[in-house]
Structure 1
Amino acid sequence: MNRVIVQYRTRNEAADENQAAIETVFAALAEGDPEGLSYTSMRLEEEEAGTVFVHVAEVRTEDGSNPLAALAEFGEFQTGLPDRTVEPPLARQATVIGSYRPQ
């Protein structure tokens, strides 16, 4: 299993455009319903230095392939990202210590 957290800061004037691009990715995920992927994106409060976005992906495919990377809409999102950000995205592997979800 592979877990990745990606964080980056957009220019404030590009934050809504970035959110719309993310929403397009989620619409494609809902339509394709790929197995072996959990994906969450969050927009943090706007700051003077830009708006921070955080993405959390968990890949659980047998062969280790990432269904998100195969999605055309995700590729388009990534292609436009440098034009919207003020700094390169920071991606880090993550290990879950605990998780709580009420039943």
Structure 2
Amino acid sequence: MKSKTIIVQYQTRPECADENEAQAIKVFDAFARASLKGVSYRTMREVNGNRFFHIVTRPDVEGPSPLMQVDEFREFVAAVRARCDEAPVDFVLRQVGEYEGWAATWKAQSKSQSKSRKLPRNCQFSFTPQ
């Protein structure tokens, strides 16, 4: 089954950031109870900031998102704009690649094919945080 990945990004008012995080955690509790099949959902918050990113991968099917079956998610979506400095913006994405360090493989994907490649043993990646 094809999947669809969406990132939703927004900035809350500074005084609403902690409340927004608490409301997002309630949504995760509800997702755990609902046990949605084929859905991956993450919420990220900018360190020391009030910018949020929601990343969802779900089946690409006609009709409403399976997330909308969860009352707490619908309530979160309905209330989030009232906490925002910037309205939420969503981006529908197409995967180009994926790296899983614990598996020492990376996957390149094109519109027509998916490839998995083994990384050399001496391959290293470094990242210097700002």
TM-score, length basis structure 2: 0.71
Alignment of 1:19-38 (within 5 A): 19-38=21-40
Structure label with greater radius of gyration: 2
Query: For each residue in 1:27-78, what CA deviation from the matched residue of structure 2 results, as whole angstroms up to 9, or x when unmatched?
Result: 011111110211011000234xxx1000110012665652212110001101
Letter in structure 2 aligned against 1:78:
V
Helix, strand or coil at the partner of 2:7 = strand
Letter in structure 2 aligned against 1:80:
A
Question: 1:26 deviation in Å?
Answer: 0.2
After superposing on structure 2, the runs of 4+ consecutive aligned residues of structure 1 that deviate more than 3 Å are 61-65
Q: How many corresponding residue pairs?
A: 100
What is the root-mean-square deviation of aligned Cα atoms in Å? 1.6
TM-score, length basis structure 1: 0.88
Where does structure 2 lack aligned partners over 5 or more consecutive residues? Answer: 104-130
Where does structure 1 lack aligned partners over 5 or more consecutive residues? Answer: none
- Greater alpha carbon shift after TM alignment, 57-66 vs 80-89: 57-66
Aligned match of 2:89 = 90
